[in-house]
Structure 1
Amino acid sequence: MGGSRRLRSRQERASAAAQFAAHQGGAVHRQQLRSCGVGRDDVRAEVRAGRWRAAGRHTIVVGPGPLSPDAARWQAIWETGAAAALDGAVALLASGLTGFRTDRLDVSLPHRNRHHDVAGVTPHRRRVMPPTVGAGVRRVRPAEASIHAAQWAASDPQAALVLCLVVQQRLVRPADLASAWARVGRSRRRAFITAVVADLCDGVHSLGELDFARWCRRRGLPEPSRQVVRTTAAGRVYLDVAWEDVGLVVEVDGGHHAAALAPLDDALRQNDVVIEGATVLRVPVIGLRLSPERFLDQVVRAHTRLRSAAA
């Protein structure tokens, strides 16, 4: 499909471009324009007039100014190569992830396909392409994209954050996250990601209450009781860790504690225990992976103060 047989009017060009640009951050593929009868000569006329600009071999930006984040995502897959798909954190953002920012534009594409270098885009050539989502900008399915984002993250805390967010925001089910991770061969973060995924899938059981007890002994604390049963106004409740002699309770929250109505149940249970006279500290299980000493500092301070008050 070459240039148009006749130059379209400015209004026709604008109307044709608008139907695509509105859903693509202001970016339009040349093939989309051709499908509406807007050919190379029409595009050239708009670019010369300064109303549009070319941003690669295929990408046309409608209007002045830099690429919007959405337009940059479309440009990344159009310009990198055939069958390219957003991957990693940028794919998650395109799927609706909030509370996370990244400047990376990761794109996966079949290794046999011709590819082109695009400024700001990191290509990942794959012998087997991960499953993709076709609605909207082409992108890797959230479960696989989450694992890739964690592997490519700048730090362990950033890797843990993205895995926690996709589960908390229900973009990925814990079981699907674990399944995607199980298919990964080598990873420089294997031990860390394995631990985080287990924490998110199984909560405190994957961490092991015995691990927490070992940390307490290392800090000079007496070994706590585990799975303590308390009777409150709402009935029987089970507490993860407790020093009953001083009235200190530590609740170790797994990834499931952020899902659905779990925060309400946790709050009601904690309030009942506090009303009965205990001091309750909450420790996210991911926090024990990333900053164990800071949380143990709080436990030691609380235990020391309560023991002094009870003396």
Structure 2
Amino acid sequence: MPTFTRDSSDVARGRVLTGRTPRPRSQTASRARGAPIGGRAVVSGRVPTMASPLHTELEGPVDAPPLVCLHGGIGTGRYHWSRQVPSLAEHYRVHLPDLPGHGHSPFPARAEYGAGFLADAVEGYLERIGPPVHVAGFSMGGHAALHVAARRPELFASLALVGVATAHHPGLDEWRARFDPDRLATEWPAWARALARLHAPLGDEAWREVLDRDSSGVTHAEVDLDALEKLAAPLLLVRGDRDPVVPVQQYAELRTRSPFSEELVVNYGGHDVQLTRAEIVRPALRDFLDRSAG
């Protein structure tokens, strides 16, 4: 398998480290249809899974390869991928599910809420679409996708991860402390109001429960890295070089488990570079997906 390297001397851009070229994978097209909204076809609905029904939005050509974009903690599918969707939906049928207890997806009926529960929801969603499926996951959503990849690698046509920790580390505790609902309402009231609007379909105070659940730490249970050696799908790892959530060594360990991995490091980038440095992530993600799809 040939190797390639793409480096940039411009510190304002990202850099792709040496990796192996992803091999082509066959795709299964989604069958949903939508009406044009804002120049693009968008549909929404609810998908039953083994864990909890998920609200989802679909955008892009009906007969295009499916791409599932998973959001991070305290977010929604549409919100966390908003600056990537217009480009991705040109050639992919983009799925934007809200994970359980976020946006329009109801809180789970059972008490257990953690990495295993979220992974069950993601696994059920991918099975409903018809694998193998392209998946892009940010933070918590990417963490859930990794758990699925460790136990069901055949579900993936490719996997792109942005700001995903594979195990607990001290920096996570400090990061999560920012998301105490009372602290957020006092120190960042505009952000608190935005979160309240984002999760309003679940109730006026739903945003507080979202914060409590997502900052509890249970959603970052350690990933079985050894099991990921069975993942034959191409793997893209994206991180900001100033992201406090993802230690450099965790991505390095991930890369040793995959024969088809590559990494994009975004200079001067924080945690959510798919939003804050979208102009760098966008072409790299599209290029990775296009090569993976063959």
TM-score class, shorter-chain normalisation, is: under 0.3
Structure index of larger Rg: 1
The answer to which structure, 1 or 2, has the higher relative contact order (CA under 8 A, 6+ apart) is: 2
The normalised TM-score by structure 2 is 0.24
